[in-house]
Structure 1
Amino acid sequence: MNKNKLKTQKTAGIDQSLTKTGVVIFDNDSQTMIHHEIIETNLDRTDVLDSFKCVAEIASRIEFLCNLYSVETVRIEGLSYGSVGQATRTLAGLHYVIVDRLMRASIDVTAIVPTALKKAATGSGRADKQQMLEACPDDVCEQLPKYGKIKGRYDLADAYHLASLSF
């Protein structure tokens, strides 16, 4: 019997943030979401080193999940290069640490620019957070209400689309 037939392909979608990172793991063979979670950190913006601690915590959890579920491919939301401010620097740091950790684990990583993600999910590159949520299948939407609007529901919707769509 061919061992490859027993192994299912799994893809993770990551919508990263220093406070609430959405992670969805998708089984490509059964076309189902098999895991979802919000990695929540409490960022102390008065402590300069706290952002480094949060970055390490988030990247470690993602690496653990990818190992636990034998994820082979990760799609992570790309950086918005048109954004400005201090938050863009720390988000870029988080992005690069996550990608570095996954590449070191021999996981295939692809960054998807936000407009391409929105267009693939909704047909419009200018879709808002609610439209991204509404573009999720009913069974996925039923699992997300336990997360409030600012508690990660939108982050999980983006992560779901990153994991499940073909780009």
Structure 2
Amino acid sequence: MRFVGIDPSTKTGLVILDEQGNVWDKKEIHLKNGIYSSSEELHEYGIDIVQSIPSNSVICIEGFSYGSKGKGVSTQYGVGFSIRFALADVGLKFIEVTPSQVKKFATGKGNTPKDGMVLPIYRNWGFEDNSDNIRDAFVLAEIARHIRGGAVGHKYQQEVVQAILEPSKPKKKSKAV
């Protein structure tokens, strides 16, 4: 059993942990032409990333950042969907984790800036890497490991796992009479 974290981007972070939480593989995979990539490049990018993932894996992928702005946003969506489609094409299921859940699982706060995650990740797991994409992917892999039954140390981590496993249902609108 392997636990995989994917932080989709033009520099996608990918971390694979074993059952004890040891890093089995970690890498940052670069989209050759970045935000100027063609749909064919995006398609191949997703396939390349998924080929690194063992079939017996629990996979967490970071969800889309819906508040993002700028000319690269469409490419970010393309990358995200390319990876998701490639996972589905080979029969791998995945769990969506929101960006705020990643941050909360690592730090206790869902609005922590990227640079504010470095020390909590090191304190919680002894993991460090210069790439924030790999750090996020590591946290996603830890979430996957804990969803599958690993002991969760902090209450805020338990809250994140519970929220992922039992998402709140939308409230029904009452009909006007």
TM bucket, shorter chain: 0.7 to 0.9
Query: Are 2:41 and 1:25 equivalent residues in the alignment?
Result: no
Partner of 1:131: 116
Native 8 Å contact 1:51 1:90 kept in 2: no
Given the two structures, how large is their TM-score scaled by the length of structure 1?
A: 0.76
**Which ranges of structure 2 fall in alignment gaps of 5 or more residues?**
147-160, 162-177
The superposition leaves residues 58-98 of structure 1 with CA deviations (integer Å, 9 ceiling, x where unpaired) of: 212221101xx334221111001122333222211211121
What is the rounded CA distance, in whole Å, between the counterparts of 2:12 and 2:34 in structure 1?
16
Native 8 Å contact 2:55 2:92 kept in 1: no
Partner of 1:157: 135
Given the two structures, how large is their TM-score scaled by the length of structure 2?
A: 0.72
What is the rounded CA distance, in whole Å, between the counterparts of 1:133 and 1:54 in structure 2?
32
- Which residues in structure 2 correspond to 1:85-104 (within 5 Å)? 85-104=70-89
Query: Are 2:36 and 1:58 equivalent residues in the alignment?
Result: no
Aligned length: 143
Relative to structure 1, is the Cα distance of residues 119 and 156 closer, same or farther in structure 2, using a 3 angstrom cutoff? same
Partner of 1:42: 32
The alignment-based identity, stated in percent, is 28
Q: Which moved more, 1:118-127 or 1:75-84?
A: 75-84
Instruction: Indicate the structure (1 or 2) with the bigger Cα radius of gyration.
Output: 2
What is the rounded CA distance, in whole Å, between the counterparts of 1:89 and 1:162 in structure 2?
23
C-alpha RMSD of the superposition: 1.9
Q: Which moved more, 1:120-129 or 1:102-111?
A: 102-111
What is the rounded CA distance, in whole Å, between the counterparts of 2:126 and 2:105 in structure 1?
19
